Amino acid sequence: MYDIEALYEAKSAAHAVELLREHPEARVIAGGSDVLIEIREGKLAGCSLVSIQKLDELRGIGADGDGSIRIGAMTSMSRIAADPVIRKRFSALGEAADAVGGPQLRNIATIGGNVCNGVTSADTASTLMAWDAVMEYLSPSGTRRVPIQEHYTGAGKTALTGGEILLAVIIPQESYENCFGHYIKYAMREALDIATLGCSANVRLSGDKARIERLRLAYGVAGPVPLRAPSAEAAAEDKPVSEAVIAAAAKAALNDVNPRTSWRAGREFRLHLAEELAKRAIRESVRRAGGSI
């Protein structure tokens, strides 16, 4: 049973913000794959909901005038995984979206819900972190853009304030142009499981494919929020494409992560995963970028 006090159906994004202002205690529900579970478990029993499920204006993937890729907050995981723009420009996000749950879940789960629940294990979060995504919020005073590094403010918390909703996730052109990446999820099962650790990397190689001009490396479940690994990135920047450089970058990532012990895995095992998955993700990113090792 779902103990819900009231359900308000938004007719537009602006109407959703208005409803949240009128009902500040209400929670936003999109696909419902997270919120409904919390209600069923009793964590949100008796809550009020503002539904944005019917807002097609928040669905879809396209290009902004400045060349950035815009992903509507209500875009489903299955649509992201199959979208030709994502597959061509940003395939690591398609991999991450395709790692979420099973087919039924991916058809209803949205990218907005995946990042707005604030959890470190969200499959798309580390990839969006590695690709310098920008969150576009709508509030009663208008829109504002927040870098994803500032979107996560603590375990299960985001920078969204009362009365705000997420409109879109934006990937700047600088973050994807000539960049190639790979996402790896390690979990106890191959499907329908939460990540024990997630790792996403992307590289930009020099014109002759011999040097790593830029590395981005990010993790999920390596700390209370999804995080970047700046020590690893610095260890590979402007270095030759080689196993030694990849190994040094992966080792340096251990300076940046701070995983905990949980019933899923111990801290030491997660540290081992952080190093090993980094090597594999960077190596595959280099291969996709046309480099050879």
Overall pTM surpassing 0.85 (yes/no) = yes
Helix (H) or strand (E) holding 21, with range, is: helix 13-22
The torsion angles phi and psi of 29, rounded to 5 degrees, stand at -125, 130
| Predicted pLDDT at 179 | 97
**Nearest-angstrom CA–CA distance, 125 and 97:** 10
Contacts of 206 (CB under 8 A, 6+ apart): 212, 213
**Nearest-angstrom CA–CA distance, 127 and 226:** 9
Helix (H) or strand (E) holding 180, with range, is: strand 180-186
- Tens digits of per-residue pLDDT, 229-266? 999 999 999 999 999 999 999 999 999 999 999 999 99
| Predicted pLDDT at 1 | 64
Q: Which residues of the chain have pLDDT under 50?
A: none
* 244-267 residues labelled b (16+ CB within 10 A) or e (exposed): ebbbebbbbbbebbebeeeebbee
Domains in the chain: ranges and CATH: 4-51 (3.30.43.10), 56-174 (3.30.465.10), 178-288 (3.30.390.50)
Yes or no: say if 176 and 204 are a contact pair by the CB < 8 Å rule. no
Per DSSP, the residues of 143-162 read EEEEEHHHHEEETTEESPPT
Strand partners for 227: 219
Instruction: Give whole-number Cα distances, 42 to 22, 113, 168, in Å.
Output: 24, 19, 30
